[in-house]
Every structure is written in C-alpha cells, then in structure tokens.
Amino acid sequence: MKTTFSIIKADVGGWPGHALVHPELEKIAYKKLIDARKSDLLKDFHVTHCGDDLELIMTHTNGVDSKEIHGLAWDTFCEATEKARDLGLYAAGQDLLSDAFSGNVRGMGPGIAEIEFTERKAEPIVAFMMDKTEPGAFNFPFFKIFADPFNTAGLIIDPSIHDGFIFEVWDIQEHKNVFIKTPEEMYDLLALIGAKSRFVIKRVFPKKSSKLPSDEPVAVISTEKLYQIAGEYVGKDDPAGFVRAQSGLPALGEVIEAFSLGHLVSGWMRGSHNGPLMPVSVGNAQCTRFDGPPRVIALGFQLRNGKLTEPVDLFDDPAFDITRRRAQDVMDYMRRHGPFEPHRLPMADMEYTTLPKVMKKLGPRFKKTK
Ligand code: F6R
Ligand code: MG
Ligand code: MG
C-alpha cells in the first residue's frame, strides 16, 4: 500500500517573542486534524512544535502536493493565526506570506517535507524539526546518515545498503537540481553541500540494486527559502525533514547518531548568526538564549497502513547530554564574538537581513581611496 507522509509547518505567532508555540495554537491544530481524520481525509496525524514553529505531521493517501492536504494545513495555520491575534502573540501569521490559498502551500510561506512511498511490513520513520536555522542545516547529518561509514556502520557491513544511495541536491539560488551517487561521487557531493546556504539536500533515493523501489525517496527535507519568497528577511526558514529507517536503510540508531556532534548551522538571532545545533526533547524545544541556540527535535514513529504509533521523543535521552553540553560550550564561545564573523554571517548571507538598511545610510560617506 502507498502512503504519503507529510510534514507541513509554519510560524504563525510566538510566545513570547520568537521562543515557543502557545499550547492554544496546538489545540486548534489538533481539533482541525482530528476532524480531517474522522472524515477520512487523513489516515493519521501528530501535532507538535519546535520553538515557534507549529508542526503538522500527517499521513494520507492523496500523494504529494495534494490540494486537499495543503488546503487543510493552510486553513489550520489561518485559524491558528486568528487565535494568535486574539491572544496577542508575537508576529501572528508571520509565515503566511500570501492572502489567498490557490491549491498548494508551496511558495506561500509554510515549509513542506513530503514523500509518497510503498509501506514495508514495518516502517520506522524519524521526523526531524528544527528552529532558528535553515534547510542547509540538514546537509551535514543527512550526508552522515546515508554516505559516511564512520556514522553508518551498515554502509560497510550490511549488503543491502553497501552500494550506497543517490542524493538529490537543489541549488536554491539558481533553482536547479542534480542527482549525485555515493560512494562513487562522494567528493562531488561534498563540494556542493558544504556550501549549505546555497546547495541543499532535498531527497535521498535508494539505488537500483536496493530491495526498495528506487523511485521512492527514503528521506526528504523542506527547502522553502522564505526570504526568496518575500524578498526580505521574514524569519529563518526553520526546516523539517524525515528519514525512513531499518531493513535496507540505515538503522534508527545510525539515523540519530548523525546529530551527535552539535554541528554549526546558520540562523539563530535575527537569522544572522552561526551557532551549534542542539538536539533536545520536545519539552526543551524552546529558543531562549540569544533566541536560541538553534534546536532540533526527533520524533520516532512506526507506521502501518497509514496509522502512526505514538511518537518516541528520541533526543529525550541522557545519551545526548554530551552533545548538549558541547553545544552549550560552543554557544558560549561563539557568543563572545558578538558582531564579528564567523559568529555573525558573512556579508553575502546578510543581504536579506536588516543590515543593508544600516549600510545604506553610510553609503554617501564612502569616498574613493587613493
Ligand atoms: C530568528 C528569529 C528571531 C528574530 C529576533 C528579532 O529566526 O525569528 O531571532 O529575528 O527576535 O525579531 P523582531 O524583528 O520580530 O523583533
Ligand atoms: Mg518567529
Ligand atoms: Mg521558527
């Protein structure tokens, strides 16, 4: 049976500032989605948050880019925005960049990660949601999961994944994509995805030799760039993504191992700073110090006939304390640099922030040097 797994997310108001989603907004989303499940539009769902982003995790049989499913998400975000306005939450409706829904939320503000695939007998899925960072934050861990044998032992010792995977990489400036095979083209892949503000992994596919269908992705990431939609900085493009695991794919433990460094990502305060990505439980998915640090949560589900088990909060575990401790040390070290690069992003990446407005004022005072 084919199931579509969709995560659609948006920041429709923060509590307080850009820290967290108010529980009343999650309640609205829950009500909306439970009705959709009753009417059979959804097979199942889970509502959660990461920082100030409201996250709708949904299963259905409508395929990707479905008007009904995207419409449901859009209506949910609109209702939640109303509530956010009533409650006086901060930046209500921030990510709803258009006034009218025209069949698809792509390009309208919300972030979308979705895949339609043939369910295996038992289907483990890990949904990752990040706040205060950008889609390129997934490049490092997704490379590690599917291409780095120091992370994923199965690439060496499991014949069913020994041949490697195919990465679909998007150039989000030129709006082009390219498919790159690993391990044979690993260096080409790294040449691109190391530049994480421009080249982002969009999907990962099994190879033809795999026992899984080679045209059905096994991982996907939301790649919406809000500033490209809005033309100016409107909050970072806090991404979501998910990975299918086990039997012919990296094991669940190999999937979450990739987040054990607390790697450096861009975003954080005013979408303008580099800092460590801290894996946290849902209970700690609120952005505080310097509006951060950037955070990631991981919810693990088993999926069967479109139905989801209750999620397991995978970073709610002392095994990740060492990562959090390191992330906090790195955060403190980075903060000491104040407005200096590389804590603050390089000029090219500041183009869509509020900095050019400040620079404009100084413009006439610049004189040619001799
Ligand atoms: C980062 C983010 C926050 C805001 C910051 C200023 O993604 O959302 O760090 O950029 O709090 O917010 P405003 O301009 O709304 O006062
Ligand atoms: Mg916000
Ligand atoms: Mg956010």
Give the three-state DSSP class for 189: helix
Residue pair 236/125 in contact by the 8 Å Cβ criterion: no
Minimal CA–CA distance to 129: which of 303, 253, 279, 318? 279
Q: Give the chain's mean pLDDT.
A: 95
Domain shared by 125 and 170, yes or no:
yes
Q: How far is the CA of 21 from the centre of ligand 1 (A)?
A: 14
Q: What is the DSSP string of 106-123?
A: TTSS-EEEEEEEE--SSE
Is residue 354 over pLDDT 90? no
- Residues of 122-143 as b/e, b for ≥16 C-beta within 10 angstroms? ebbbbbbbbbbbbbbbbbbbbb
Ligand 1 binding pocket mutation candidate from 95, 237, 291, 352 (most atoms within 8 A of CB)? 291
Domain shared by 208 and 323, yes or no:
yes
* Main-chain dihedrals φ then ψ at residue 74, nearest 5 degrees: -60, -45
Neighbouring-strand partners of residue 105:
none
Indicate the length of the chain as a whole number: 370
The pocket around ligand 1, CB under 6 angstroms, is made up of 17-18, 91, 132, 235-236, 267, 269-271, 291
Residue 74 CA to its chain's centroid (Å): 18
Residue with CA at minimum distance from ligand 1 atom 6: 270
Do you find a cis peptide bond into 311, omega within 30 degrees of 0? no
Q: How far is the CA of 199 from the centre of ligand 2 (A)?
A: 24
Neighbouring-strand partners of residue 300:
126, 312
Ligand 1 binding pocket mutation candidate from 12, 18, 94, 133 (most atoms within 8 A of CB)? 18
What pLDDT, on the 0 to 100 scale, is given for residue 233? 58
For ligand 3, a single-atom ion, the residues with CB < 5 A are 11, 51-53, 131, 238
| CA 119/CA 3 separation, integer angstroms | 7
What pLDDT, on the 0 to 100 scale, is given for residue 80? 97
| CA 78/CA 16 separation, integer angstroms | 19
AA identity, residue 65? D
Is residue 228 over pLDDT 70? no
Give the three-state DSSP class for 187: helix
Q: How far is the CA of 272 from the centre of ligand 1 (A)?
A: 10
Tokens describing residue 313: 């909060």
Residue pair 145/279 in contact by the 8 Å Cβ criterion: no
Neighbouring-strand partners of residue 205:
166
Is residue 227 over pLDDT 70? no
Q: Is the dihedral of CA 261, 207, 242, 98 positive or negative?
A: positive
AA identity, residue 4? T
Atom of ligand 1 nearest to the CA of 131: 7
Is residue 229 over pLDDT 70? no
| CA 58/CA 301 separation, integer angstroms | 12
What pLDDT, on the 0 to 100 scale, is given for residue 234? 61
Mean pLDDT, rounded, for 110-133: 97
Domain shared by 114 and 166, yes or no:
no
Q: Where does the pLDDT of residue 359 fall: very low under 50, low under 70, confident under 90, or very high at 90 and above?
A: confident
pLDDT in tens, 316-341: 999 999 999 999 999 999 999 999 99
Q: Is residue 108 part of a domain?
A: yes
Q: Is residue 255 part of a domain?
A: yes
Domain shared by 240 and 175, yes or no:
yes
Domain shared by 141 and 279, yes or no:
yes
pTM: 0.96
Q: What is the tally of structural domains in the chain? A: 2
Residue with CA at minimum distance from ligand 1 atom 3: 270
Q: Is residue 351 part of a domain?
A: no
Percentage of the chain surpassing pLDDT 70?
A: 97
pLDDT in tens, 230-248: 666 565 689 999 999 999 9
Q: Is the dihedral of CA 12, 13, 19, 25 positive or negative?
A: negative
Catalytic positions are 11, 233, 236
Other CB atoms within 10 A of residue 24 CB: 16
Residue pair 151/258 in contact by the 8 Å Cβ criterion: yes
Among residues 74, 98, 118, which one ends one of the domains? 118
Radius of gyration from C-alpha coordinates of the chain: 20
Q: How far is the CA of 61 from the centre of ligand 2 (A)?
A: 31
Domain that holds residue 262: 121-346
pLDDT in tens, 30-57: 999 999 999 999 999 999 999 999 999 9
| CA 77/CA 71 separation, integer angstroms | 10
Among residues 118, 152, 171, which one ends one of the domains? 118
Atom of ligand 1 nearest to the CA of 132: 7
Domain shared by 73 and 129, yes or no:
no
| CA 289/CA 269 separation, integer angstroms | 9
CATH, residue 30: 3.30.70
